[in-house]
Amino acid sequence: AARKYAAGDGWAAVNGHWSPLLPWLLAPWFKLGVPEILALKITLLLGGLFAVVAFYRLSRRFEIEPRIRMWACLAFLPMALYFSLVHCTPDVLMLGFMLGYLSVLFDRDFLRTRWGGAWCGVMAGLAYLSKSYALPFFCLHFPLVILLHALRAEGAKPWKPAVARAAMGFACIALIAASWIGVVSAKYGAFTLSKVASYNWSYSHPEAVDRMTLDLGLVPPASDRDISAWDDPPAPPVVRWSPFDSMKMFRQWLYMLARRAAKTALILETMSWLVIPVIILCLLGLWRHWRLWREKFHEYLPLLTVLSFPCGYILMWVVERYLWLVTAIALLLAAQALRGVLPRCRSQAWRRALSVLLA
Three-state SS for 30-99 is HHCCCCHHHHHHHHHHHHHHHHHHHHHHHHCCCCCCHHHHHHHHHHHHHHHHHHHHCCCCCHHHHHHHHH
Residues 6+ apart with CB under 8 A from 130: 19, 21, 22, 90, 91, 93, 94, 97
Distance CA 233, CA 223 (A): 11
pLDDT tens, per residue, the chain with 359 residues: 778 888 787 787 888 778 899 999 999 998 888 898 999 999 999 999 999 999 999 999 988 888 888 888 998 999 999 989 888 889 999 999 999 999 999 998 888 888 999 999 999 999 999 998 999 999 999 999 998 888 887 665 778 888 999 999 999 999 999 999 998 888 878 787 777 776 777 666 666 655 544 455 666 776 666 777 667 666 655 667 777 878 888 888 888 889 889 998 888 888 777 788 888 877 777 777 666 666 666 778 888 899 999 998 888 888 889 999 999 998 888 888 776 555 555 555 555 555 555 55
Are 214 and 208 a contacting pair, CB within 8 Å? Answer: no
Residue 201 CA, chain-centre distance (Å), reads 19
